[in-house]
Amino acid sequence: MRGSHLSRTRTLAAVLTLAVSGAVALAGCGQKQQTVGSAPPPKKPDAFEQRADQIVRDWPQVSPVHGRQQALLPLVGADRPKDTGAREITVTVGHSACDVHFGARSHESKGLVVVTGWGKRKSAKGMCTENLATDKVKIQLKGPLAGRKVVDAATGKQLLKG
């Protein structure tokens, strides 16, 4: 009897040690095993974030993106802000006439503001013309433009210098 009591004590001590360390695996009747205390996987950068990082790293030796991607639509242009302290820029997005939503986004670094247009199309059902629509979109910056270059993510071309 004494041996089984010692065995239960050791088992209980081992379970408590694992529980305190945060690496315990829980299992229930008929349920999958689940690990408790692990961090969620890191968010994978999307196509624009990857492209913006590449432009910042390789500037000014940047080539255009091949093909047309809904997350990296080329910009038609950018309006020069009134002063270098501006925290907002206006760009002209060229998008499909079939896009139900469109806009622009930015990625800021010390010397560059990388911008792109984006669009979301209607469902694939029905016909869609290949007409290009253009609309002005305002982008809020985290910091003042302050002499940074504004670069189109799709083409890799400088649109303006703040």
Residue 150: both structure tokens together: 């504004």
Taking 90 as the threshold, does the pLDDT of residue 10 lie above it?
Answer: no
Domain ranges of the chain: 2-35, 47-161
Q: What angle do CA 87, 88, 89 make, to 5 degrees?
A: 135
Taking 70 as the threshold, does the pLDDT of residue 1 lie above it?
Answer: no
Q: Residue 137 phi/psi, 5° resolution?
A: -135, 135
Task: Give me the mean pLDDT over the 86-114 stretch.
Answer: 93
**pTM value?**
0.70
Nearest alpha-carbon partner for 103 in 125, 76, 136: 136
